[in-house]
Amino acid sequence: MTDSNPSDCAVSGKGGAGWPATDRLTDMASEADRWAEIVKSFGGGGEVRYEPVGGINPADGPVALCVGGRNRLTGELVEGFWGASCDADEVEEGGIFRRSVVPTAVIVKAHMPDLAEVVGAFNVESIEARPEDFVRQRTSNRVEFESIAFNRNFLATVPDEYDPIALRELFSPGFLDWANGIDREVDFGINDRQLWFLWRMRERTAEELGMALSNAAELFRRLQWEMQENGADYYRPGPWNAGLESFPERRFEGGTQPAG
């Protein structure tokens, strides 16, 4: 998934109620500023860098994540999880003279070239967030699992050139149960060797941002654990996942080395 995907179309959170009235401000420009301050104040699990708009890394450095995204955070977002996050599914709100661009979702990304060697690309998208005609159009390359609940809640697909068996083998029953238990509409996948996770917010609060990043970290941990269980070599988590350093030469062998 590139930096322009999947965060281009606006959707509402689970239940379709929109933002609570108490979270709306008369001056919508202040709402955008308030959200920026919330993101800027986020402590993270370690060193985290805030940028109003995410830029690129130097030419001789690793590829940056969430390039061009508003309110970008980069670093150890949650203890043991390095990546970047930014606003997604932005909409314009307010009156004619007081319009402001605000997010309805947060997208989180991490470099995972080791995962990309197991499954080159895949998308898992919330069915509840999409119209029925969209789902029908995607059935040709849909990957279904033994979990009826997961198949009902999510649309998992791989590009035509990839084998769906690798994705079926990657997602264990425990992983499918965890994904089904997430209390928001979420999408996730890997594209261009980057893991991405889209969290649709119910409100723009520090607590909501924390939940988004914590669930993204759990997705990262669970997928890395699945790789280990399947015997795939993997990198230990570190600043390279956030594009802050180059990946180390050494990998751990799946099934034989602890994470971290």
pLDDT tens digits for the chain (260 residues)? 434 343 333 222 333 334 444 444 445 558 899 999 999 999 999 999 999 999 999 998 999 999 999 999 999 999 999 999 999 999 988 766 677 899 999 999 999 999 999 999 999 999 987 777 666 666 668 899 999 999 999 999 999 888 899 999 999 999 999 999 999 999 999 999 999 999 999 999 999 999 999 999 999 999 999 999 999 999 999 999 999 999 999 999 987 554 44
Separation CA 227–CA 48 (nearest Å): 27
What is d(CA 203, CA 201) in angstroms, rounded to the nearest whole number? 5
pLDDT of residue 256: 56
- Each domain of the chain, given as residue ranges in start order, spans 21-238
Q: Residue 65: which of 77, 78, 74 has the closest Cα?
A: 74
Which whole-number Å values give the CA distances from 228 to 55, 109, 179, 191, 222, in the listed order? 33, 20, 19, 20, 10
- Classified as helix, coil or strand, 252 is strand
The pTM for the full model equals 0.85
For residue 146, the number of C-alpha atoms closer than 13 Å in the C-beta half-sphere is 10
Strand order in the sheet with 81-93: 48-53, 70-78, 81-93, 100-111, 194-200, 186-191, 122-126, 154-157
Contact 65, 109 (CB under 8 A): yes
Nearest in space to 195 (alpha carbons), one of 85, 56, 69: 85
Residue 23 in contact with residue 204, Cβ under 8 Å?
yes
* Maximal C-alpha separation, the chain: 61
- Which pair of structure tokens corresponds to residue 164? 């769906």
